[in-house]
Amino acid sequence: MSLTVQSPVPGKTVPMSEVPDPVFAESMVGPGLAVQPAGGRQNAVAPVDGTVVTLHPHAFVVATEDGRAVLVHLGIDTVKQKGEGFTLHVVKGESVRAGQPLIEWDPDAVVAAGYSAIVPVVALDAAPEVLSGQLTGADVVAGDPVFVWDD
């Protein structure tokens, strides 16, 4: 079954190799792509239908009914901001629909704090060959399809 993964934020899609963090750039936690977000306060939305299984101010994981999980990380090293500038709209364990706002944040504030605002979108524990249609180099709005995950 194919799972279409949507962009959690507006911006420009880039290959995962351009993320300034080796854990993501080398796909250690899984393949995917990243979005260089547009500026200004915005909502990061669920990339798939599922359940919020991990939730931090700067990152979340949504697991689908069939067990696949997508990680969205809002910026790099943003854990050091200790939640400042991030507003949660959901709780861990909540069922969500693709496109539903999960966290409000401001990429410009992340950059001003000295961090990269790039947003990795990761198919957790997937093999690279199960992803197709990675949309890199494209301008996207939140909710646009960015890759397909085939099982």
Q: What is the span of the domain harbouring residue 58?
A: 2-150
- CATH code, 28: 2.70.70.10
Round the average pLDDT of the chain to a whole number and report it: 97
What does 48-116 look like in DSSP terms, one character per residue?
SSEEEEEEETTEEEEE-TTS-EEEEE-SBSGGGGTTTT-EE-S-TT-EE-TT-EEEEE-HHHHHHTTSB
Which pTM was predicted?
A: 0.97
Q: How many domains in the chain?
A: 1
- pLDDT of 151 > 90? The answer is no
- pLDDT of 135 > 90? The answer is no
112 exposed, middle or buried (CB, 10 Å; 0-12, 13-18, 19+)? exposed
Mean pLDDT of 131-150: 95
CA distances from 99 to 5, 18, 62 (A): 10, 25, 12
CA dist 46 and 53 (Å) reads 12
What percent of the chain stands above pLDDT 70? 100
What are the residues facing 45 on neighbouring strands? 101
Tens digits of residue pLDDT in 62-101: 999 999 999 999 999 999 999 999 999 999 999 999 999 9
Active site residues: 73
Residue 119 structure tokens: 């947003």
CA dist 139 and 27 (Å) reads 22
